[in-house]
A and B are shown apart, each in its own frame.
Chain A
């Protein structure tokens, strides 16, 4: 027993060496971690909140900045590029009428009408998706993040029917084939066929005390923080500027706010 345990530890040590060298031959060419893997120290100071939220200052966005944010998210999270109606989207844009159909604006101001709006999972305070999930594969954690357990998901797609924001995508096929080999990020797993996926507010970044990737890429056009903390940056912004949420009448209390 003792001996086999020692052997195991030895093997684990060798494996760790192999990992740190960053050359895992069996994973094939190009399949290398782009950056050094995070270590325990990176997780020493996680960002904490009671209810994470986001403000998007839509006037500060143009197509280039949208693309920068979407690429930052989709490339890191290995979101496959699938064309057509079975596509996978974590972060995407819509024009005003698509993003805010319940507003039904008439004679919309030019500035707002010709703008695109960045959409993502709203990480609602009172989400419908977690209520309907029969396996708790989608659930709300203590920090207000609507999370996905891809290993528990049975692919019933009830959450997709439940979400009033169209924020969820289903893997109709194996996503691996739709991620460019040289773009595959080994620090983040891609999903399997037959499960639902969506934006996670970069829970893996928050765990390292960092901001979500889109917020980092936005150069200040997005503000992220704790909605329950009156002294937080996000609450300061919301106090100063009028912001709307998508489809508030659904009663889900979305945590993403849009400054028009």
Chain B
């Protein structure tokens, strides 16, 4: 089955080449980082996690989002997702690979990363994050590949896949919950020290992840003619809309708690994000853009007539993805560290090399995803006679 990745149109190989080229350029910057250390990043003593960890957090959400298809398909036998399910599982594989990549590029001593296994420390949430991420990668790889293989051979999937599928549904919730616990259990980081953080992570994941999946599927439809089915697009866009409503609602819960209680520790990071703190306003344009995009996407998605119109759906999804990305991929980490334990602001913005190295990981994900989707679509074309 894997040989299907080796034959393809010039456009397919062109895409792979572009991904490889970006990986090569980013890889060059990563070599500089390996040789000189993380000083090439915008990180500091006060903001010790930044763009890399933020991208990791965002991609964990994308990985977890596959469950929004798997759950209705397997628990409720919702057959409309039958063509999309494999795409979701393969997107999850690519997303988890990116997550692991972002962690590797973030650590100061990557050659020692297996210390997390050798000196496994169950009291550290990072240890559990390693467990759940790798577990989810293995689960999705085994389930996705076995199901596709069975489909290709025109037999039903082996019975042992079923329990793995049910495990993966629960597991998907765990990967984003555990990732939220990385932050939520820290004293002195007020923005993260909130019981609703895991719930916010899941709600944001369940809108942004399926939105990315739907956008990529619609792109694949344009490029290859693969049709996920009208019903599947409709249902998935409805799921996205509900999840985004919950996401925005959860954010307002945070705002209420912080500002009605009037507790400075809770208000300061939110003020830093939206109005600046002690004159430092570098995050405010991003956060107001994110807020505007979030509201605008909801305005376009909530009326079902607009939502079911592809000409409105696609821009709305793009707005949603950018809005949630700014919120999680920039704001979440910066606000956790700002103001710092001395109630001061150390500004953080990613540097050029930092962005290039992150792009390397994104290109790796793009490469993996393109190959996996190519295989899935080829198999479908062969079995069904058409896409």
Contacts and interface: CB of A to CB of B under 8 A. Distances in A.
Interface of A: 84-89, 94, 97-99, 101-102, 104, 128, 131-137, 152-158, 160-166, 169-174, 193-196, 247, 250-252
B37 A173 contact: yes
A166 to B, nearest CB: 4
B76 interface: no
Contact of B126 (A128, A134, A251): A134
Given A164-B187, A194-B38, A154 B124 contact: no
Interface in B250-286: 264-265
Interface in B28-58: 36-39, 41, 43-46, 48-49
Interface in B167-192: 182-183, 185-189
A98 B37 contact: no
Interface of B: 36-39, 41, 43-46, 48-49, 103, 106-110, 112-113, 115-116, 118-119, 121, 123-127, 130, 182-183, 185-189, 264-265, 336-337, 340-344, 346
B344 A98 contact: yes
A193 B124 contact: no
Contacts of B187: 128, 162, 164, 250-252
A258 B130 CA distance: 40
A contacts with B: majority SS: loop
Contacts of B346: 85
Contact of A172 (B38, B264, B265, B340): B38
Q: Which of B48, B123, B126, B127 has the most CB of A within 10 A?
A: B48
A155 B265 CA distance: 28
Contacts of B336: 161
B contacts with A: majority SS: loop
Contacts of A133: 121, 124
Contacts of A163: 188, 341
Contact of B119 (A98, A135, A156): A135
Contact of A128 (B41, B107, B183, B186): B186
B102 to A, nearest CB: 12
B337 A156 contact: no
Q: Which of B108, B112, B113, B182 has the most CB of A within 10 A?
A: B108
A155 B109 contact: yes
Contact of A161 (B49, B107, B342): B49
A154 B36 contact: no
Given A101-B343, A164-B341, A132 B186 contact: yes
Contacts of A89: 45
Contacts of B123: 131
B37 A194 contact: yes
A250 B190 CA distance: 11
A99 B342 contact: yes
Nearest to A165: B341
Contacts of B37: 171-174, 193-194
A102 B342 CA distance: 9
Contacts of A196: 108
Contacts of B106: 156
Chain A to chain B: the 7 pairs with minimum beta-carbon distance, closest first: A155-B108, A164-B188, A194-B108, A85-B44, A250-B187, A98-B342, A101-B343
A250 B265 CA distance: 12
A152 B39 contact: no
B115 A152 contact: yes
Q: Which of A88, A98, A170, A195 has the most CB of B within 10 A?
A: A170
A155 B121 CA distance: 16
